[in-house]
Amino acid sequence: MEFGPLYQRKVLLGVSGSIAAYKSAFLVRELIKWGAEVQVVMTTAAKDFITPLTLSTLSTRPVYSTFLHEEEEKYGVWNNHVDLGLWADLMVIAPASSNTLSKLVTGACDDLLSAVYMSAKCPVFVAPAMDLDMYKNEATRTNLEELTARGVTVIPAAHGELASGLVGQGRMAEPEAICEYISAHLLSQLPLHGKKVLINAGPTHEHIDPVRYIGNNSTGQMGVALARAARSLGADVTLVLGPTQYPLDLNGLQVISVVSAKEMLTAMQEYYPSSVLTICTAAVSDFVPKTAANKKLKKTAMKGTMTIDLEETTDILATLGKTKRIDQKLIGFALETNDGIGYAKDKLVKKNADAIVLNTLSTTTGFESNTNAVEVFYQDGTQQFFPLADKTELGRQLLNAVLKKFE
């Protein structure tokens, strides 16, 4: 589940007093499986159904249930409900008993869980769990409607056999279903949800013979970072990837493997028409041998010298720029060793791009480096500098800045 909407999210899991509390252990494991960091807060009643030790072991974090640290109460050490509320990226109360739902609506803060809810600034989800008649009761329906009106997302209770022996709606949704529900909801709120993004990355190899080729030192790291960032914002990402060390099953990405500049051009032209955002980070070869030998060239036959006739490859960025629609954005990358600003501005105009990202080659930037520093030049004449940062973080910064610029 890596790089999904729950990936690296800080999730505050509230557990209230319900027989369904045993499922919270499985929910902790499922949330972690989806890439989340989980902090459990439970009510005193919840401890009658599942122990804090179980949830602490599974979450690898201490479980909080009271305002004061139970072992250090005499020293006045307390659990800060405000800090907990501010820490979370999202809060999930599962199971949410009828009593807890009532407290959330009325604002009663007589336990740590309800106080944390009142302090939370993040999206809140509740997964009700109670018997059939309690779930159908008008008071419960009114509480759920009121919470929904206040922006809380209610995960519907499931239908099935209940603890009382009755059959009907009231079962807490299964942990996997809860994660899928939250994921779908979060995805629908993301800025690139349902939109197609096309990115190319890595080098191209232009074969001289079956053994030798013309290439460069590009690792594709920057392009992959941008692809992952786009995916985390809900995009349907196609990554056209040249020969690199990356696996072809990059989680959540459609990866099209290519070798040559011609293959990369063909793939980009295929997916470009349906993409709203295209980012060309690949270090595409500018030249290709006019002919490639079908057998290894032997140096004994070359008599000490070798001459290769080269011809220009088709410029991918310029080709895409010629057919760019008004509803499409096209961004190119430029790696320069001198007069970078001049080349970047010239490239911006000639290739009809909406932005050019300029990076320079050094020991800390460019190829074979885990870090990079770039400057972005936009078509409207503005520019934006991004200082040295890890490429993964830089990918997120760049994409967010571009989306804000073009919103």
Neighbouring residues of 105: CB distance < 8 A, sequence distance ≥ 6: 143, 146, 147
67 — pLDDT class (breaks 50, 70, 90): low
Question: Do 173 and 200 reside in the same domain of the chain?
Answer: no
**pLDDT of 12 higher than 90:** yes
In a domain, 5, yes or no: no
* pLDDT the model gives residue 66: 82
Does residue 79 lie in a domain region?
A: yes
What pLDDT score was predicted for residue 187?
85
Q: What is the CATH number of the domain that holds 153?
A: 3.40.50.1950
Beta strands 167-171 and 158-161 are antiparallel
Quote the longest CA-to-CA distance of the chain: 94
- Between the alpha carbon of residue 57 and those of residues 50, 66, 125, 214, 289, the distances in Å are 12, 18, 23, 54, 61
- The answer to whether residues 167 and 293 belong to one domain is no
The residue among 316, 199, 188 whose CA lies nearest residue 255 is 199
Q: Is 173 helix (H, G, I), strand (E, B) or coil?
A: coil
pLDDT at 114: 93
C-alpha distances in angstroms, 370 versus 57, 116, 365, 393? 35, 39, 8, 10
Digit-coded pLDDT (tens) for 227-277: 999 988 889 999 999 999 888 777 789 999 999 999 999 999 999 999 999
Q: Is the dihedral of CA 231, 235, 236, 242 positive or negative?
A: negative
One domain, residues 205 and 173: no
Whether residue 211 sits in one domain with residue 157: no
* Average pLDDT over the chain, rounded to an integer: 91
Determine the structural domain holding residue 147 and report its residue range: 10-189
Q: How far apart are CA 1 and CA 318, in angstroms?
A: 36
378 is a domain residue: yes
Q: Rounded to an integer, what distance in angstroms lies between the CA atom of residue 70 and that of residue 139?
A: 34
Residue 73 has pLDDT above 70, yes or no: no
Separation of alpha carbons 240 and 127, rounded Å = 41
- pLDDT of 51 higher than 60: yes
Q: What is the pLDDT of residues 187-223, one digit of tens each?
A: 888 899 999 999 999 999 999 999 999 999 899 999 9
Sequence-ordered strand ranges (E) for 191-258: 196-201, 206-207, 213-214, 236-241, 254-257
355: domain CATH number is: 3.40.50.10300
> Which tokens sit at 43?
């009510």
| Domain C-terminal end among 170, 189, 208 | 189
Q: What is the token pair recorded at 152?
A: 């809380």
Query: What whole-number percentage of the chain has pLDDT above 70?
Result: 94
- Write out the two tokens for 192: 């690139």
Asked, as a colleague might, if the bond just before 156 is cis with ω within 30 of 0, I would say no
CB neighbour list of residue 237: distance below 8 Å, 6 or more residues apart: 196, 197, 198, 199, 227, 230, 231, 252, 253, 254
Domain count for the chain, please give it. 2
CA–CA gap between residue 186 and residue 183 (Å, rounded):
5
Residue 52 shares a structural domain with residue 102: yes
Whether residue 377 sits in one domain with residue 278? yes
Please report whether residue 122 resides in a domain.
yes
Predicted confidence band at 70 (pLDDT cuts at 50, 70, 90)?
low
Do the domain assignments include residue 1? no
Is 59:39 a contact under the CB 8 Å cutoff?
A: yes
Let me know if residue 130 belongs to a domain: yes
Which runs of consecutive H residues, i.e. helices, occur in 107-204? 112-119, 132-136, 138-149, 175-189
Residue 23 lies in a domain: yes
Residue 204 lies in a domain: yes
Q: Are residues 306 and 394 in the same domain?
A: yes
Look at residue 68 in the predicted model and tell me its pLDDT: 64
**End position of a domain, from candidates 143, 164, 189:** 189
pLDDT(291) > 80: yes
What are 398's two structure tokens?
């760049």
Report the pLDDT value the prediction gives residue 364, as an integer from 0 to 100. 64
pLDDT of residue 363: 55
State the residue for tokens 């690792």. 219
* pLDDT surpassing 90 at residue 400: yes
Compute the distance between CA of residue 338 and CA of residue 296 in angstroms, rounded to an integer.
37
**CA–CA separation, 271 and 170 (whole Å):** 46
% of the chain exceeding 90 in pLDDT: 74
- Are 164 and 256 contained in the same domain? no
Residues 178 and 224 in one domain: no
pLDDT tens digits along 354-369: 999 998 876 566 676 8
Q: Are residues 306 and 245 in the same domain?
A: yes
Single out the residue in 133, 161, 189 at which a domain terminates. 189
Q: Kindly write down the DSSP assignment for every residue of 317-367, as one continuous string.
A: HHHHHHT--TT-EEEEEEEESSSHHHHHHHHHHHTT-SEEEEEE-SSSSST
| Residues involved in catalysis | 216
DSSP 213-232: EE------HHHHHHHHHHHH
Q: How far apart are CA 278 and CA 198, in angstroms?
A: 5
In this structure, are 14 and 141 located in the same domain?
yes
Q: Are residues 142 and 245 in the same domain?
A: no
Q: For 1-19, what is the mean pLDDT?
A: 85
Task: Give the per-residue pLDDT at 300.
Answer: 72
Q: What are phi and psi of 24, to 5 degrees?
A: -65, -30
- C-alpha 116: how far from chain center: 27
pLDDT at 188: 87
How does strand 371-378 pair with strand 355-360? antiparallel
